[in-house]
Every structure is written in C-alpha cells, then in structure tokens.
Amino acid sequence: MSDTREFEGKQALVTGASSGIGRAIAEALAEAGAVVAITGRRPQPLAEVAAGIQEAGGGCVGIPGDVRDENHAADAVAKTVESFGGLDILVNNAGVIGAGPIAETTTEEWDRIVDIDLKGPFLFSRAAIPHLRTAKGCIVNVSSVAGARPYPGIGPYCVAKAGLDRFTECLALELAPDGVRVNAINPGVVKTNLHKATNTVPDYDAFLARSEETHPLGFYGAPEDASELVLFLASEKARWITGGCFPLDGGRALTSLR
C-alpha cells in the first residue's frame, strides 16, 4: 500500500468493495488520504469494511446495492458526491465468474455474468462522467487476463471481460478531450473469495497449486498487487496514460495456460 498521502483531498468510489481486490483498493485509497465510498451486494461485510476504514482514521461510506441496477448506480454516485463534495476516482471492480461449457450455459447465467462484469461498469461510468469531467478525474476498471485470452469453460466471463477492455478503450477516447483518463488492469489468479463464492472451483487448494504452474513467475497474486497498480493508474504519476489495459498476471497471458 501507499506510504504517502498522495490522494489527500480526493474522493473515490469503489464497487464490489466488501472483500478481495475491491476491499484492498478501498483500504489503500483511504490509507493514501482519499475519502472513499464503497458498494457491494452484501450489507454486513460492506459495513465491516467501512467501519475498519473509519477506525483507521479514514473517511468512508458504505452504499449497499447491485451494480446491475441502474438506480443503484445513480444513487451511489449521488451519495458519494453528497457525502464528499465531488468525485475524482471511480474504480469499477465488482465482478463474478461462472464455470461450464457455453453449450450448457443458461440464458440466466449468461446475463448474470455479463450484466455484472460489463453492464455494471457502464452504468457506474455513465452516472459518474459529469462529476469526473468537473474534477478531471479518472476511471480504473478491474478486468481480467481472460479479457485478453480465451479459456474454455468460462466463456461468458471471457466475453464480458473482453468487452470491458474495449469499453475502457472507447471511453478513454471519448473522455480524453475532457481530461478524464480511463484505464484497466487485467489480473491473473488472485487469492480472493471470487471462485469460492460461486463454487466454480471444486478444490480451491488444488486450483491455487496449479496456478503456481500456469503463471510463469511461479506464484499467484494477492489483492494488494492489484491495489498498488490501481493506485498508480489513479495517481498523477500516470497523468499521460489512458486507454491502457495492463497485465497483472505473472506472465500468464503470454502463455494462455489454464
């Protein structure tokens, strides 16, 4: 995490922040001086994250809701601005994964994955754009190595994350004249509860052990690896970077191993 207060005076909104990468990003932003609004579908874990940030001396407000809900997106952005006076940084992190061949994927499951992983970032970005234009702020999307590489058995997830990468690039071009930057990170396997929450990996310990082989650097990631890159992309150090989709995968995208 950052050891400076480089985000002092900045206002941030992080989706899917009740655990994993989203939680690490929210905590890192708060530690670096930002006030942070966080969203998530589970009110209790979200409240616990907010309380932890507040106890550490940071400013945080929790806004429970589902990123697929257009009204929730608008409400979360409005409450962030009402609470903190503006919005400088939007991190679209909320996401889910699913498992199974496309031939056996139900319409409901396809919609669930695509709507959370792709429609959600669209809804939150659209709601945030007027405020980000005012602040000349930035958006960081949390995509996946699966956005750049196809993998069997997780087709809807790959499609959604590939769409998120292209959404990042299109939005970066649209907002560049306003001084708003848009980037994405593309993590490989990060040890979180993502796979456990959807029961997509029968033996999680075996999955992690296999991940040490599929990532050329020989290990899987931690949420803090993602938060460090997000903070860099949201900082003034990255002021000339927009439209990038940055691998954070120990070299996995170079091999397409699964």
* Angle between helix 20-31 and helix 223-234 axes, rounded to 10 deg: 50
Q: Which of 120, 67, 91 is nearest to 10 (CA)?
A: 91
Q: From CA 161, how far away is CA 245, in angstroms rounded?
A: 11
Which residue type is seen at 118? Answer: L
Residue 209: exposure state from Cβ atoms within 10 A (0-12, 13-18, ≥19): exposed
Among candidate residues 151, 157, 204, 220, the one labeled active-site is 157
Q: From CA 82, how far away is CA 10, in angstroms rounded?
A: 14
Q: Which of 93, 94, 82, 95 is nearest to 11 (CA)?
A: 82
Q: From CA 136, how far away is CA 152, in angstroms rounded?
A: 40
Q: From CA 12, how far away is CA 163, in angstroms rounded?
A: 24
Q: Which of 188, 192, 193, 190 is nearest to 215 (CA)?
A: 188
| Active-site annotation holds for 220 | no
* Segments of 120-254 assigned E as strands: 138-142, 181-187, 245-248
Residues assigned a catalytic role: 157
